Amino acid sequence: MTDVGWDVLRARLLDLDAGRLAEMDAHGIELAILSLNAPAIQAIPDPASACDVARRANDALAAAVARHPDRFAGFAALPMQDPEAATRELTRAVSDLGFKGALVNGFSQIGPDRVVYYDAPAYEAFWGAVEALGAPFYLHPRDPLPAREPIYDAHPWLRGPAWAFAAETAMHALRLITSGLFDRHPRLQLILGHLGEGIPYNVWRLDHRIRKAPRGIPARRTVGEYLRSNVYLTTSGNFRTSTLMAAISEIGADRVLFSVDYPFERTIDAVSWFDAVVLESALPAAQLEQIAAENARTLFTSLNKR
């Protein structure tokens, strides 16, 4: 989280014109894919309200993209509380509004303390639509509900982006991966931020222990294999060269996307770090170009071509 207050963050989040473009220009950012900040639609327990807010948010974002089509693109907000409505809204956002995929802020609330994860059978048709559209699905973090995760009690410094975001999102992603989702939908592409929410750095032990005690796991392949075929990682908010190198060693440079996480992280921090990676020649020039731009171009221009 950046060190500025909420008033500043709110202003930056809502600025979809001059201020955001000036920030991009100052640091050499060619294109930004925009989305709602967390938890957004996922924290609206009433499905009808979630549908209404998602539709209005997507329309507002589409208007901003239309004003600056060479600089902005959009990720759809989805009312995942209602899988059929989420499918309809994703289809509209991709087919009619021209969005590049969807960004969903973790689990959705269906009551004050009840949540739903997307490996549930009710989402099978939704995932089929995601695959058919060729629309990448970004699983973005949110904090776990306090009533469901008392382990954070009296330890507020571990909530949010410091730790709880990654732990919650990694578990959700692993539910999807190990459920057999990518066996049923092999062209489906999942995006995880923050260089993978810790998963790539634990994947050997994860696969090693599952092999020893599979306990009826539905997935036909290892987690590592799915990472290399069905998951992209972004650098958002994780500007560490050794961590980047570890991610590349597990999944390959062709599955890493440069990202900032603005305005929750400073653009200058992301760009300065990546420039240092370039100057240090920590990676071959071709891999650096892949991460900086080419992987994103390949992924986000392949919609409806799969």
- Which residues are designated catalytic? 261
Structure tokens at 61: 């974002």
Structure tokens at 13: 């989040």
Distances (CA, A) of 225 to 4, 250, 253, 268: 40, 9, 15, 34
Contacts 24+ apart (CB under 8 A), 240-247: 240/195, 240/273, 241/273, 241/276, 241/277, 241/280, 241/282, 243/195, 243/201, 244/195, 244/277, 245/282, 245/283, 246/200, 246/201, 247/195, 247/196, 247/200, 247/201
The one-letter amino acid code at 125 reads A
Q: What angle do CA 172, 178, 183 make, to 5 degrees?
A: 120
Closest by CA position to 264, among listed 127, 159, 161, 122: 161
What gap in Å lies between CA 154 and CA 157, rounded to an integer?
9
40: left (phi over 0), alpha (psi -120 to 50) or beta: left
What gap in Å lies between CA 256 and CA 147, rounded to an integer?
35
